[in-house]
C-alpha cells in the first residue's frame, strides 16, 4: 500500500528515543544486562495520599461522566492557591489557568494556537525535542536559540537577533542541561520579549527540583511576565505522576484563552477523578517535593563523584534530574554506543536535543543508587581497559 501519510506528518522529526529503546532491547536480547540511565521518567511511585484520592473519586459516579470542557473549577482554584503559596504569584483561576492533558500536549499545541504558518519560533538548542514537533505541526519557522556552556546555558540577549520570531520557548531547570535561571534573568527576558514583541512560554517541568540550596524561580515572578507570556507546569515530575497525564498552563489571559479554545475543539478535559487527585497533590505538604529533590541530589552526587574518580570531569547541575556531560572522546553518538555495547550502560546521546549536543550525553537520575553505583563501576572498568590498551 502507498504511503498515505500527509506531508505535514512526514515533516515531523524522527523520534530518536524509539530507536534508542530498540537498540537497548537488542543488547539485552543478546544476554547482556543494561543499566538504563537514558530515560526521563520518574522511577518512584505516586505518593499514597494522591492514589487514595483517586480511589475515592473513582467511587463517585459523577466522575464517570464527561467533565467540564475547560477543567474543574476546584482544580483551577487549587492551582492558583499553589502559585500564590509557592511563588507569591496572583492568578485568576477562571482566566489565567488552563488544565492540560500532560505538559507535552500543551507545549506541542501552543504554536498552533499562537502562530501563523511561516512565522518564527525561537527554540532552545539544546532543548526538549518535542518543541520541534509543535513548531512543525504549526508550519512555523524554527529559529535556533543557541545555548552555550560558557553562558550558563542561558540565551545571550545582548547578541541575540530574534529575526522574525513571534514566540520563544524557555525551560529552566533545563532538560537536558540541568541549567537553572535566576530572577534577574527572567526580568531580562521580559524586557527582551517586550522590546521585540515576543510571546514567551516557560516550560517549568522541573520547577520543584533544585540542588545545593537553589530554589527554581517561576518566570511569572518577574515584573510584567504575565503581560507577555505563560508558564507550563506538570504534575509528572513534582509528584511522580507521569502516567496520569495532568498539567496546567498559567499566565497571560489571552494565551490561556487560546489554549482553552483549541482544547474545546480537540478533546474534553482530563478525567475528573484524576483532577480530584491533582487537587490533593497541589494541597499536599511541600515535604513531598523537597524529599524527592533531596533524593535526586543524592543520586547526582553519587554519579558525579564516581565519574570524577574515574577521571571524567563533569559539572554538577543545579536542577532537574539530569546530568549533562561532555564526552571525553569522539562524539555523542560513538561514545554513547560504546557505553551501551561495551559497558552495558544506556545514556541519551546529546544530538537528540539539537546540534549543540553533538559532543554531550545526558544521564538520567531516575534509577536507584544501587544501579547508579553499578553503572559507575562499569564505566570505570571501561576507562581502565582503554587506558591499558593505549599505554
Q: How confident is residue 51, by pLDDT bands cut at 50, 70 and 90?
A: very high
- The pLDDT value recorded for residue 5 is 87
Whether the pLDDT of residue 38 is over 60: the answer is: yes
CA–CA dist 42, 242 (Å, integer): 7
DSSP code for 205: T
What letters, b where the CB count within 10 A reaches 16 and e where it falls short, cover 32-66?
Answer: eebbbbbbbebeeebbeebeebbeebbeeeebeee
- The pLDDT value recorded for residue 11 is 86
Q: What is the mean pLDDT of residues 347-352?
A: 96
The C-alpha cell at 338 is: 560504546
Q: Residue 309 to residues 44, 217, 300, 380, 384: CA-CA distances in angstroms? A: 28, 33, 14, 8, 12
Quote the pTM value. 0.96
Share of the chain above pLDDT 90, in %: 87
Whether the pLDDT of residue 32 is over 50: the answer is: yes
More confident residue, 10 or 275: 275
Whether the pLDDT of residue 50 is over 80: the answer is: yes
CA–CA dist 358, 373 (Å, integer): 26
Any idea which fold 7-45+287-389 has? 3.90.1150
Q: Residue 92 to residues 101, 226, 251, 256, 261: CA-CA distances in angstroms? A: 20, 11, 9, 11, 17
**Residue spans in the chain of domains classed CATH 3.40.640.10:** 48-282
**Among all chains, which residue has been given the C-alpha cell 571524567?**
312
Q: What is the pLDDT of residues 100-110, one digit of tens each?
A: 999 999 999 99
**Residue spans in the chain of domains classed CATH 3.90.1150.10:** 7-45+287-389
Listed in sequence order, the residues at least 6 apart from 191 whose beta carbon sits closer than 8 Å to its beta carbon are: none
What letters, b where the CB count within 10 A reaches 16 and e where it falls short, cover 257-289?
Answer: ebbbebbeeeebbbbbbbbbbbbbbbebeeebb
Kindly indicate whether the domain formed by 48-282 is annotated with CATH number 3.40.640.10: yes
Please give the sequence-ordered ranges of beta strands (E in DSSP) within 70-187, or none if there are none: 97-100, 120-125, 141-146, 165-171
Q: Which of 11-15, 184-188, 358-362 has the lowest mean pLDDT?
A: 11-15
Q: What is the pLDDT of residues 3-15, one digit of tens each?
A: 888 888 888 888 8
Amino acid at each position: 500500500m502507498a504511503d498515505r501519510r500527509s506531508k505535514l506528518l512526514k515533516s515531523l522529526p524522527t523520534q530518536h528515543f524509539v530507536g534508542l529503546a530498540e537498540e537497548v532491547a537488542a543488547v539485552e536480547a543478546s544476554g547482556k544486562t543494561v543499566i538504563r540511565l537514558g530515560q526521563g521518567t520518574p522511577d518512584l511511585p505516586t505518593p499514597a495520599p494522591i492514589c487514595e484520592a483517586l480511589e475515592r473519586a473513582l467511587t463517585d459516579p459523577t466522575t464517570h461522566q464527561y467533565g467540564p470542557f475547560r477543567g474543574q473549577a476546584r482544580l483551577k482554584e487549587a492551582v492558583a492557591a499553589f502559585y500564590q503559596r509557592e511563588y507569591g504569584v496572583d492568578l485568576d483561576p477562571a482566566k489565567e489557568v488552563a488544565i492540560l492533558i500532560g505538559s507535552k500536549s500543551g507545549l506541542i499545541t501552543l504554536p498552533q494556537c499562537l502562530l501563523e504558518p511561516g512565522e518564527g519560533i525561537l527554540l532552545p538548542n539544546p532543548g526538549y525535542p518535542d518543541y520541534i514537533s509543535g513548531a512543525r505541526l504549526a508550519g512555523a519557522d524554527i529559529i535556533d536559540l543557541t545555548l552555550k556552556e560558557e553562558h550558563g546555558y542561558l540565551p545571550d540577549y545582548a547578541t541575540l537577533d530574534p529575526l522574525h520570531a513571534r514566540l520563544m520557548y524557555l525551560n529552566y531547570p533545563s532538560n537536558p542541561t540541568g541549567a537553572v535561571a535566576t530572577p534577574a534573568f527572567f526580568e531580562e527576558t521580559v524586557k527582551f520579549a517586550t522590546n521585540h514583541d515576543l510571546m514567551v512560554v516557560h516550560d517549568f517541568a522541573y520547577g520543584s527540583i533544585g540542588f545545593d540550596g537553589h530554589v527554581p524561580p517561576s518566570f511569572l515572578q518577574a515584573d510584567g511576565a504575565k503581560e507577555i507570556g505563560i508558564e507550563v507546569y506538570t504534575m509528572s515530575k513534582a509528584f511522580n505522576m507521569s502516567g496520569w497525564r495532568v498539567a496546567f498552563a498559567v499566565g497571560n489571559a489571552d494565551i490561556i484563552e487560546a489554549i482553552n479554545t483549541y482544547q474545546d475543539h480537540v478533546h474534553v478535559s482530563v478525567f475528573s477523578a484524576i483532577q480530584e487527585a491533582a487537587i490533593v497533590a497541589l494541597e499536599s505538604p511541600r515535604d513531598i517535593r523537597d524529599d524527592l529533590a533531596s533524593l535526586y541530589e543524592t543520586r547526582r552526587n553519587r554519579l558525579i563523584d564516581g565519574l570524577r574518580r574515574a577521571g571524567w570531569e563533569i559539572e554538577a547541575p543545579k536542577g532537574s534530574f539530569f546530568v549533562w556531560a561532555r564526552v571525553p572522546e569522539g562524539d555523542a553518538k560513538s561514545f554513547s554506543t560504546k557505553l551501551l555495547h561495551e559497558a552495558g550502560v544506556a545514556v541519551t546521546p546529546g544530538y537528540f536535543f539539537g546540534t549543540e549536543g553533538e559532543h554531550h550525553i545526558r544521564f538520567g537520575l531516575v534509577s536507584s543508587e544501587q544501579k547508579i553505583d553499578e553503572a559507575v563501576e562499569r564505566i570505570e572498568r571501561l576507562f581502565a581497559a582503554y587506558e591499558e590498551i593505549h599505554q
